[in-house]
Amino acid sequence: MARPPKRTLPPAPPPPPGDAYLRLINRINSVILSGGELETVLGRVVDVISEVLEVERVSIMLADSLTGHLHIRAAKGISREVWPTISIAPGQGIAGRVAQEGLPLMSRDIGKTGLPAKGGERYRDNSFACVPLIIHERILGVLSINNRSDGAPLDEAEFQLAMAVAALVSLAVENANLLSSAVTLQQHFRDVLSQMMHGVICTDRSASVTLCNPAAARLIGIAPDQAVGRALHTVLPGELRAAIKPLVAECQARGPHGRREIEVSAPGRSGTVPVDVTLTTLCDAGGDVDALVLVLEDLSLRREVAELRRLDELKSNFLAMVSHELRTPLTSIKGAVHLLASGTFEESADQRRAMYELLRKNTERLILQINNILDVNQLEHGNLNLFPRRLDLAGLLRRVQRQLEGEFVEKGVTLQGQLPERFDIVGDHERLTSTFMHLLDNALKFTPAGGHVTLWLAPGEETVEVHVRDTGVGLEAQHFDKVFAKFYQLEHTLTRQAGGNGLGLFIAKGVIELHGGTIAFQPVDGPGAEVVVRLPRGAPREASSPTLTQEVVDV
């Protein structure tokens, strides 16, 4: 199969000497170099051709980028009202054939060419020249010249001149297309930047800001147009400014990109904003930094979404745990009631006592779970009331020991107390009892059979410390603060076996802080973990949100 002809024109010889020809080329070149809208430039080109060559009709038709059809963009001798009605398909008529084949056509007598004279009166001339507008083998359109005004046919010199003019017009059209594409791309680029959620700041080699999009402007607290032209360090807040220098050094040492997360004080927002900073250095051929591109991502929304997902997962886990924690004692209670009511076993006094003890334990377990849920709700809404009174802390701790003694014995864990005979403080007896039961229960949960839990009291001048130390699985430092979060549970076999709903330490922390104290885990030598509760010896300090009922009495 024969290859289609290559769409290139043979080199045009220089036009024959003559003032008219030189004047034409110079004037057209001046028109093209003067710039302006493409239609205006093309209109002036056809005016110059018509004037200098003294021809009856000149037209420039450009091809539609989608259909390839030719449409008039500038003409002399053709009524402007007719332009929109003319659409020539590739291969149709003289202009369509030239556009399709990419080769020029000229005739001194159109009647002898045998070419279709589509349009009748349009081709009443004796001569014509139709030259393709070509750039990089792409057909842009055609330049058509018809009929000298004096009736003489066009000659070879004018044909060659038309080819030279077509080359200049092709460059003008291509430049206009490139400029239009560049403007469009630039506008698209600016539209994209203006709508981006990430902040973008660009600089030149002197670190002066050349671009600042709205997202970046919001983070640094300055209008985009006020940032452009200023030195980068003068528009960035202190935290960002401090991060830039090491990032530039990192880029120069390891590659064009550097990244880190920092906290930024953003105008109009309380506290700090987490920002992911990515710096890209653009270097010249010599390796020197020619420009900087700074991308700022506000991580607040991402962290909020992650936190919401975490809370949703915690909620689901919590509901599953609560369902289990409530169902288990209810099942035991239901079974005991059924046995007592059915009379299917011999009801000796010991059996009845055992059943009543089972009912009591599981009822207390249910009450504890429900109270935990209520306490959490009151803590979160600042409605947890304290009823402080003078109490014997050492005696309170001994009673907690006795209450939990059976569970420790059942699991095979030793509970030792090193407590003075009496130690008075002011606090809420019920809340503190519940808190220390949570702490001892937590120690039991993580201590395997054969282990030990020790409880002791360390008095100070204004405060007293209560230590709970176990020889269990221990606690890594990274969890010291996290374990006091609501629903937080360690993934450990002992935890899953012992159950729990992840509320005990959260409630304990809330109650201790309401008393004006602190609670924290501290590092230990050897296995296990140790939690320290520090309480004031006097009345609790009034907290900002919870209610303290100051009713201090000696008991």
Q: Do 25 and 168 have their domain in common? A: yes
| Residue 339 pLDDT level (bands cut at 50, 70, 90) | confident
Tell me, yes or no, whether 308 and 293 share the same domain. no
- Do 357 and 402 lie in one domain? The reply is no
Q: Which of 243, 277, 298 is the last residue of a domain?
A: 298
Which of helix, strand or coil describes residue 142? Answer: strand
Residue 550 lies in a domain: no
User: Which CATH number belongs to the domain containing residue 91 in this structure?
Assistant: 3.30.450.40
Predicted TM-score of the model (pTM): 0.49
- Backbone Cα Rg of the chain: 45
d(CA 274, CA 303): 9
Q: What local confidence, expressed as pLDDT, does residue 6 receive?
A: 45
- Note whether 525 and 396 are same-domain residues: yes
The confidence band for 534, taking pLDDT boundaries of 50, 70 and 90, is very high
Segment 224-238, tens digit of pLDDT: 888 899 998 888 888
Q: What is the pLDDT of residue 255?
A: 76
pLDDT band at 271 (very low <50, low <70, confident <90, very high): confident
388 and 495 both lie in a single domain = yes
Question: Does residue 436 sit within a domain?
Answer: yes
Residues 350-389 pLDDT 10s: 777 777 888 887 787 788 778 877 887 788 778 888 899 9
Q: Are residues 286 and 307 in the same domain?
A: no
As a whole number, mean pLDDT of residues 287-310 equals 86
Q: Which of 317, 346, 378 represents a domain boundary (last residue)?
A: 378
Pair 454, 355 in one domain? no
Whether 552 maps to a domain, the answer reads no
Whether residue 167 sits in one domain with residue 23: yes
d(CA 10, CA 454): 102
* One-character DSSP codes across 195-212: H-SSEEEEE-TT-BEEEE
Q: Whole-angstrom Cα distance, residue 298 to residue 267?
A: 13
Tokens of 82: 């007719």
Residues 472 and 516 in one domain: yes
pLDDT tens digits, residue range 122-150?
545 578 899 999 998 899 999 999 888 88
Residue that is last in its domain, among 324, 351, 378? 378
Residue 547 lies in a domain: no
**Looking at the structure, do residues 308 and 371 belong to the same domain, yes or no?**
yes
532 & 428 share domain: yes
Determine, yes or no, domain membership for 370.
yes
pLDDT of residue 113: 62
> How many domains does the chain contain in total?
4
Check: CB of residue 282 under 8 Å from CB of residue 296: no
Residue 419, in any domain of the structure = yes
**Domain of residue 209, CATH code:** 3.30.450.20
Full residue range of the structural domain in which residue 499 is found: 383-536
**Does 188 fall in a domain?**
no
Would you state the pLDDT for residue 99? 93
> Quick one: average pLDDT of 202-219?
90
Q: Using CA of residue 312, residue 317, residue 320, residue 321, what is the dihedral sign?
A: negative
CB atoms within 10 A of CB 477: 9
The answer to whether residue 190 is domain-embedded is no
Say if residue 71 is in the same domain as residue 153: yes
The one-letter code for the residue type at 122 is: R
| pLDDT tops 50 at residue 39 | yes
